[in-house]
Structure 1
Amino acid sequence: MSSDDFNVAKVPTHTVGSTALDQAPRGFLALVTAAAFLTFAQAFMVAPILPQLAQAFHTDSGTIGLAVPAYLVPYGVMTLLWGPLSDRIGRRPIILGSLLTFAVLTAGTALSGTAGMFMLMRLVTGAAASGVVPISLALIGDVFPFAQRGRALGWLFGGMAGGIAVGSTAGAVAEPFIGWEGLFLVSSAGILMIGVLSVFLLPVSQTTRNAPPWNAVIAAYGKLLSISRGRRTYSYVLLNAVLHSGIYTWFGLYLVQRFELGPIGVGLALLGYGIPGFLFGPIIGKLADRYGRARTIPAGVLVAGVCAFILAIEAPLPVVVITVAVLSLGYDMTQPLLGGIVTDLPGTVGQSVGLMAFVLFIGLGLGSLIFQGLLVMGFPLALVVFGTAALLGAGIGLRLFREEQAPATAD
């Protein structure tokens, strides 16, 4: 990684409002990447410790597992507000306010005494956290032209992938030593530190001149879905989220039941998830900028489907560990590239990104619930269902995204 990778001062800017966005401070891209890392580390450290949380709150894994959609669904819903609001008051206040509230509520979660209180805290924390990554994505859309956006988004989504990997592993490995409460307190401290750095490193963006009035916001969301490029992109965001969340959310339980692994074993087995994205995200984004997204996006869904079938046949543990890493690569080949398309749709970037985040996190919540419903028939059948859906989705994607060549074409 060169020093210019995290320096956006040399990158041409877009006009945001009446003037061009001022040169972003050095370190801006590193900052939002770190924010994405911590946001997703905090979100995904819960799934691997569901058995421990169930024991701590004297309930079963199925009940405490509802804490996952309890976080994801309000996260998605609130982005419908944060996106348009950031168009009106700027990206910086939304990101700073979300980081501060996020840090406080994450610390407060450690005080939960019952499963109900824990899930309530996850719900409000999800709503607060939802202003960080989606609005950072919108800010990148302000700063970088579409032809250079893939690489920048690769860093952002690479941070998310790295957060998933570290959060999953650290959650499982560290919980026996510092307890689940300690996990949330450490996460809160890290988020607060990023918030402090954001005061100095976040650029001050202008409001968006063509933002629709509040009474036209719903109609503007409808307009995004009225064009074919918008419909196919948001539909694929939903499909991709359902597939990956369903498989991954319950992976800790899968490892416990199949291999009788303890917390540390589960954490080590999950270590590979997210590492490919952290290492190769910017490269994937750069290739998409150069060659287009027409084949890469369907290929990513195909990778997820193949991984689901490998897990369904009850492969040995070393193969499962490798499959986990490859599964995350499938996500890295899809979601960042879909995000790039979304920032190029007509209308305001904040609103188009807000709708994407809404669809993404609703899909993540639905995927968790759908897979949980299929688990009554066992992991192999649930994985086969999800793998089949992914293969069908990959085939459909080849047709849907055939126009996403380089340079991308508008609808």
Structure 2
Amino acid sequence: MTLFSAVFVTTMGAGLVAPLLPVYAHELGAGASEIGLIFGSFSLTRSLFVPYFGKWSDRRGRRPFIVFGLFGYFLVSLAFAATEGIWSLVAIRLAQGFASAMVLPVAQAYVGDMTPSGWEGRMMGVFNIALYFGLSAGPVLGGVLEDWANIKVSFLSMGALALCGFFLSLIFLPRGQKPRAQNVPKETSGPDRPAGPGYFALLGIPAVRALFIFRATFTTAIGITWTFLPLGAGTRLGLSSSAIGLVVMVNVLVAAVCQAPMGYLADRISKGLMIGVGGLMGVGAMLCLNEASTFWGLVLANSLFGLAGGIAFPPVMALGVIEGREAGAMGSLMGLLALAHSLGMLAGPMLGGFFIDWFSFDWIFRIGSGIVALGTLLFWTQYKR
């Protein structure tokens, strides 16, 4: 419960500013490519460091990384409130990605350590409820705060929530608990035990490679949506910050509602089938986002995209727990999946900014649809092996 609460308040804080940041950067004079860089810089440092933190947490324990990462989130929030420059935003997002690399993948590994065999889908689904409900509450609260006061208040609110998560983890998470893989003898557990297979060895497993590909490609479409859907809703449709927050919120809210039932279902039917269905729904949802031209059209299309992720991600994480347990490297496996997520969130904003600057806004959701379709196809070719 402590871990779930810490993740909830932290992701809600991050969700406070995510839909407002593209519009804020645009008001500061940033072009589409610069907005993509601001969003992508977060995923750049996250991609660089998340494999190391995941692997180190297998050796040193999970708690220190979670605690220090949450405090880093708090410091980053203060820096956001103190700056108004485009390149300063890039630098702060780089620091935020570093802090994020310590928190979510390590927390997922923590849950994976506690998950009994046969309960992978249910446990990861319940954990993801905290993640998704935090992300869904954040955009609405952030939009209301921005309309009521200004974006600085949203930044400071993000910091306050991160500080709450820090104190929860510092006080209530057990001290000195180190993970121990099932296939490692007890006397070799702890800081000096073997680190388990490396990332290239894990990617040599077809099921792991399939999960990595799907997670990276689907998240590329998420990165496009989170970065440029608020921008389009604000500049092309003239929606208020509160309305933009609602449009973004429905995606994550629908995904949150799906986590527990889809996690339960993933323990009983083919996980690969569920991932394939979610991928195909994601292709259709991105095409619907391309055609939406009203507030309610955006709400419906983004809800469908949330449903796609809500169906696909619980079995992805359940398979990740199974493969991590079998490989004796839960932290490394969760770090690898987090790396796939970060690469997608890096590629999505950068690709979207490029196509807007060189072609038109209408291209970005079509590109996202094609990427999800390719990722789903590649997933099946690897998973069937």
User: TM-score under structure 1 normalisation?
Assistant: 0.83
Of the two structures, which has the highest relative contact order with CA contacts closer than 8 Å and spacing of 6 or more? Answer: 2
> Could you tell me which of 216, 227, 230 is aligned with 1:249?
227
Query: Which residue matches 1:91?
Result: 62
Are 1:320 and 2:302 an aligned pair?
Answer: no
Do structure 1's residue 48 and structure 2's residue 20 form an aligned pair? yes
- Match in the other structure for 1:81: 52
Q: Which runs of structure 2 are paired with 1:332-411 in the superposition (5 Å)?
A: 332-345=310-323, 346-375=327-356, 376-402=358-384
Structure 2: distance between partners of 1:218 and 1:260: 52
Partner Cα separation in structure 2 for residue 366 and residue 59 of structure 1? 18
Distance in 2, matches of 1:271 and 1:349, equals 31
Fraction of identical pairs, as percent: 21
**Higher-helix-fraction structure:** 2
Say whether the 8 Å CA contact 1:87–1:348 is kept in structure 2.
yes
Q: 2:77 aligns with which of 103, 106, 111?
A: 106
Say which is worse superposed, 134-143 or 149-158, in terms of deviation: 149-158
**Is the 1:150–1:337 contact (alpha carbons within 8 Å) kept by the matching residues of 2?**
yes
1:396 Cα offset (Å): 4.4
Unaligned runs of 5+ in 2: none
Decide which of 288, 293, 309 is 2:287's aligned counterpart. 309
**Residue of structure 2 aligned with 1:196, choices 142, 160, 167:** 167
Query: How many residues end up aligned between the 2 structures?
Result: 373
Check the 8 A contact 2:14/2:158 in 1, yes or no.
Answer: no
**Aligned-partner Cα distance in 1 for 2:214–2:376:** 10
Q: Does the residue aligned with 2:83 lie in a helix, a strand or coil?
A: coil
Q: What are the residue-to-residue correspondences of 1:278-317 with 2, within 5 Å?
A: 278-317=256-295
Query: Could you tell me which of 243, 246, 252 is aligned with 1:265?
Result: 243
Partner of 2:139: 168
CA RMSD of aligned residues (A): 2.6
List aligned pairs for 1:25-64, cutoff 5 A: 27=1, 31-44=2-15, 45-55=17-27, 57-60=28-31, 62-64=33-35
Cα distance change, pair 313–277 in 1 and its aligned pair in 2 (3 A)? closer
User: Do the aligned residues in 1 keep the contact of 2:69 with 2:103 (CA within 8 Å)?
Assistant: yes
Q: Offset of 1:284 from its aligned partner?
A: 0.7
State the alpha-carbon separation in 2 of the partners of residues 382 and 114 from structure 1: 26
> Residues 64 and 233 (structure 1 numbering): CA distance in 2 closer, same or farther, change over 3 Å?
closer
**Equivalent residues of 2:266, 2:318 under 8 A apart:** no
TM-score, structure 2 length as denominator?
0.88
Q: Please, which runs of 5 or more residues in structure 1 have no aligned partner? A: 1-26, 404-411
Distance 1:302 1:49 in 2: 30
What is the CA distance between 1:138 and its match in structure 2? 0.3
